[in-house]
Amino acid sequence: MNANTQKLQALGQSLWLDNISRQMLNDGTLARYIGELSITGLTSNPTIFEHAIGKGAAYDVQIAPLSRAGRFGEDLFNQLALSDLVRAADLFKPVHDATGGVDGWVSLELSPLLVDDSDTSIESAARLHEAAARPNLYIKIPGTKAGVKAIEESIFAGVPINVTLLFSREQYLASAEAYLRGIERRLSAGKSAQVDSVASLFVSRWDVAVKDRVPAGERNRLGIAIARRTYKAYRELLQSARWQKLAAAGARPQRLLFGSTGTKDPDAPDTLYVEALAAPDTVNTIPDKTLLAFAEHGNVGATMPVDGGDAEAVIAQFRARGIDDAALAEQLQQEGAAAFAKSWKSLLGEIAGKAARLA
């Protein structure tokens, strides 16, 4: 096992892969990451599947019979995605069992076209989780205003949720509130308090958004400050009387997950965000390139300060530059949803083209 990734695992942070493809399942890459690099879960999204299905012919053998059987569009994609994610979930099942269900998860995202449709999101989340028939599969729902309702109702229904597209402390707290309400309603209804969830805060996109608005010496600092501010709120929530009551009833924390942690700036260290976001009781999802870089030359130093450290001072510096972090968080969430919708449409077009050619 790699010493660098083991250090993160030892301090209580899970490393999940921000990628999936049929090729890495077939050639043993994912199994190697699990066995050698401490990977204990993975996430997927429409952009990841767009790249995976669009490249090569690995999915053609399944697309052809499914299309001949009348499967098309979103239904056909879900069949392809679930085939991969079920295999991945089974690879992670030993981790899931060994950690009592805390770790060993995979994630499938709902159609990004449902971002403003709470009711259909609730129905789709339940249907897809049932179709997967795996206890360690999260359904990803964006933490938008419409998504908050879908998160609460899905948790109440017993569907494990990965809340995605969070960009601020406030957006995180809204998703955490939805999770708490869902668990509280389950307890009131005489149901188990144990329905798992993570809340995914996107980090590096902050720094991409402001890189041309600040001097070089201030780049790649805002995303980490936002993460520190959010981590402080997360730790405070876990200390609250409200949460302690739910924990005593058997609920597990909705772990804070750091996403978008690959370095986008070629002048910055390629392990910047992994090292800065080291923190117990959290998850870091990283792309292959960042995982391999960290395994080779990463360093685990001090963990994130539970009091937020210099987060507020750094954010204040950016505000002095004219950057409204609250407005930018909303903008980044909207842009993220739009980017996933674009990938989704491109993905479905790619699948339809393959189906037509193979037919």
Residue-wise pLDDT for 268-308, tens only, equals 999 999 999 999 999 999 999 999 999 999 999 999 999 99
Contacts of 249 (CB under 8 A, 6+ apart): 187, 193
Rounded to an integer, what distance in angstroms lies between the CA atom of residue 139 and that of residue 310? 34
Contacts of 19 (CB under 8 A, 6+ apart): 42, 44, 48, 287, 288
Q: Tell me which of 140, 145, 191, 342 is the catalytic residue.
A: 140
Q: Is 289 labeled as catalytic in the residue annotation?
A: no
pTM recorded for the entire structure:
0.97
Please name the fold of domain 3-358: TIM Barrel (3.20.20)
Instruction: Kindly give the parts of the chain with pLDDT less than 50.
Output: none
User: Look-up: residue for tokens 């041309």?
Assistant: 212
Inter-residue contact 263 to 204 (CB < 8 Å): yes
Residue 359 pLDDT: 76
Rounded to an integer, what distance in angstroms lies between the CA atom of residue 182 and that of residue 155? 5
Q: Which two tokens stand for residue 266?
A: 């070629």
Q: Which two tokens stand for residue 298?
A: 């990463």
Q: Which two tokens stand for residue 327?
A: 């407005």
Rounded to an integer, what distance in angstroms lies between the CA atom of residue 248 and that of residue 40? 26
- Which burial class, exposed, middle or buried, applies to 69 when counting CB atoms under 10 A from its CB (0-12, 13-18, 19+)? exposed
Inter-residue contact 249 to 185 (CB < 8 Å): no
